[in-house]
Amino acid sequence: MDGVLYDSMKYHTLAWRQMMEENGINCSREEFYLYEGMTGAATIDLIWQREFGHPCDPEKRTALYDYKTKIFKTIGGNDPMPGAARMLRTLCDRGIRCVLVTGSGQASLIDNIRRDYPGVFAEGMMVTAHDVTKGKPDPEPYLRGLAKAGVKPEEAIVIENAPLGVRAGVAAGIRTMAVCTGPIPKERFEEEKAWGIFPSMEEFANVLPLVVDLIDAQSPFVIADSNTSPLVVDRLAEQIPYLKALPRCVIPAGDDHKDIESLTQAWRMLSTHGATRRSTLFCIGGGMVTDLGGFAAATFKRGIPCVNVSTTLLGMVDAATGGKTGINLDGLKNEIGAFSMPEDVVIIPGTLDTLPREELLSGYAEMLKTALIADPEMYEALLDADRYLEEPRLLLPWIMRCIEIKTEVTTRDPKEKGERKILNFGHTAGHAMESHALINGRPIAHGIAVAHGLLWEMIISSIAKEGREASLPSSRLYPYAAMLKQHFPAAGVKCSDIDALMELMRHDKKNASPDRINFTLLRETGHPEWDMCPSEEDIRAAFEIYGDMTGLA
């Protein structure tokens, strides 16, 4: 409770020191951080034994603790710990039963828990100082917690912020997470054999889904690229040492390495280290890693589970969700692949702050696509790109909205037989631009190509009439085109490239026939139409308008 769910230890340590000094005992505040988790009676006895050579008289001990409590109520407060609500919500959303294990016995504090974290701790799911004969660091409090939850030690985790609490959790045989919410150095928690050590509750909440998935996995493996492995996986391993020991496949970074050679490297890593059908592959990185790693998992031993840990904006809002996996072949995007849903998708928000601008723009394009097909309010907000590109964490609510939209669509149509095709808006033209750049030795990021593909297909939507109820109003084109020119680099195509682009679009896997290029088009923002096959004249005319709007030579 204190130091985990409430940022209250700063007040507790003041109250303890004042009470002790008024009784002639000099103590530092830092000392009481080390005693955190012990019952009040045990703390008083420990200090009395040290100062006077004997435990405190029981009646005096009760009076001293009551006085300390009075001081705390006068000078202190119970500020919810930043990140604690999100941490608890993550646990509850995953169906994990929460048990409060605290050295406190104050009824008013327990009432605060029910007020500040409603619905988290079911009736009877609390262990307080009144329920144990021995407090932390004895394992008894956590053993009683296990009994209340009805689980075995290996099925549980402990979340602690005090060395003695970590010692109690470890002694109970439970994987114990240490969160450094006070002044105690990381080394103290390492000495107590904490399973994970995190610099703040916010940081722990960010990676908690990954922690749970790693614990659930019977035989985990990791795949990452040569950028993500040192920048993300190694950093995570500093907080979760368990990660260091896992077999790891590191493939070259870049979409041009999303190929059969990298796929074979992943298969060999799994085979060499004895992966079975119960093993889980953790794909940590952007869309290239989750596409390739997901395909490796889908095909190894006819399919093993995978968890996508998305570290790029593009991966968060698109590639990691929905179950599309694959590799490129001969310059053609995702030519070989399979539909295979991941066991879980984990987002690490902190990686947004580290993304190069091109990576940020790539993901932003996919968010614009999702907004155009499903959420006009989000689209209007995202047109203010200056705001969100300057402060990427402001995107988090819209990221969750994008994931929600994609999850709903792919759940209803997992194999892209109908509605799921709306997610291809901007991609027929975008993939052609991306493949053209790759073939000509000037690769561009997937999302950059999609951003330009969106404008081309918005223009087609505004002029193509065949088989359609209505056309996209041309007034929708200009705000998007202005935002595209201001923030996104050029797609690297010229007006004279139209024949090559048309040929690439004829090879698009969404086509039922090479004679008819299949698009998703818009009647209006939020109103997509799939399986649209505009005439070649309309596609070419739209490209000319696109060239005029973007200044193509």
Residue 213 in any domain: the answer is no
Is residue 450 one of the residues assigned to a domain? yes
Are 474 and 530 in a shared domain? yes
Average pLDDT over residues 431-438: 93
Helix (H) or strand (E) holding 347: strand 344-347
Q: What is the CATH number of the domain that holds 118?
A: 3.40.50.1000
pLDDT at position 183, please?
82
Same-domain check for residues 540 and 515: yes
User: C-alpha angle with apex 169: 163 to 170, nearest 5 degrees?
Assistant: 90
Of 315, 345, 375, the residue at which a domain comes to its end is: 345
Answer yes or no: is 351 within a domain: no
pLDDT over 90 (residue 10): no
Question: Among 177, 208, 239, which residue terminates a domain?
Answer: 208
Helix, strand, or coil here: 223?
strand
The residue range of the domain holding 20 is 9-75
Beta bridge partners of 339: 324
Q: What is residue 262's predicted lDDT score, i.e. its pLDDT? A: 97
Claim to verify: residue 63 and residue 96 sit in the same structural domain: no
Do residue 443 and residue 520 come from a single domain? yes
At 105 the pLDDT is 75
At 245 the three-state DSSP class reads: helix
- Taking only the tens place, the pLDDT of each residue in 121-165 is 998 899 988 899 998 899 999 999 999 999 999 999 999 998 999
CA-CA distance, 531 to 347, in Å (whole number)? 32
The pLDDT of residue 520:
95
Count: domains in the chain: 4
The pLDDT tens digits for 348-370 are 888 888 888 999 999 999 999 99
| Averaged pLDDT for residues 48-59 | 92
What's the pLDDT tens digit per position in 314-350?
889 987 788 889 999 987 878 899 999 999 999 888 8
**Residue 197 pLDDT exceeds 90:** yes
CATH code: domain of residue 387: 1.20.1090.10
Which pLDDT band holds residue 79 (cuts at 50, 70, 90)?
confident
pLDDT digits (tens, 9 = 90+) for 482-530: 999 999 999 999 999 999 999 999 988 888 887 899 999 999 999 999 9
pLDDT band per the 50, 70, 90 thresholds, residue 547: very high
pLDDT for position 170: 97
In a domain, 262, yes or no: yes
Q: What confidence tier does 98 reach under pLDDT thresholds 50, 70, 90?
A: very high
**Do 52 and 92 lie in a common domain?**
no
Same domain (yes/no): 188, 245: no
Q: Please tell me the pTM assigned to this model.
A: 0.76
pLDDT attached to residue 7: 84
Residue 29 included in any domain? yes
Asked if the structure places residue 1 within a domain, the reply is no
pLDDT band at 531 (very low <50, low <70, confident <90, very high): very high
pLDDT above 90 for 423: yes
- Mean pLDDT confidence for 173-201: 93
In order of 99, 140, 144, 163, 524, the CA distances from 135 in angstroms are 16, 7, 11, 13, 64
Residues 202 and 229 in one domain: no
What is the overall mean pLDDT for the chain? 92
Q: Are residues 168 and 228 in the same domain?
A: no
Kind and range of the H or E element at 397? helix 396-412
> Mean of the pLDDT values across residues 260-275?
97
Alpha helix (H) ranges present in 234-383?
234-239, 260-272, 287-299, 313-314, 357-374, 376-382
Q: What is the share, in percent, of the chain residues with pLDDT greater than 70?
A: 99
User: What is the C-alpha to C-alpha distance for residues 513 and 530, in angstroms, rounded to an integer?
Assistant: 15
Please indicate, yes or no, whether residues 387 and 533 belong to a single structural domain of this protein.
Answer: yes
- The predicted pLDDT at position 527 comes to 96
ω into 137 cis (within 30 of 0): yes
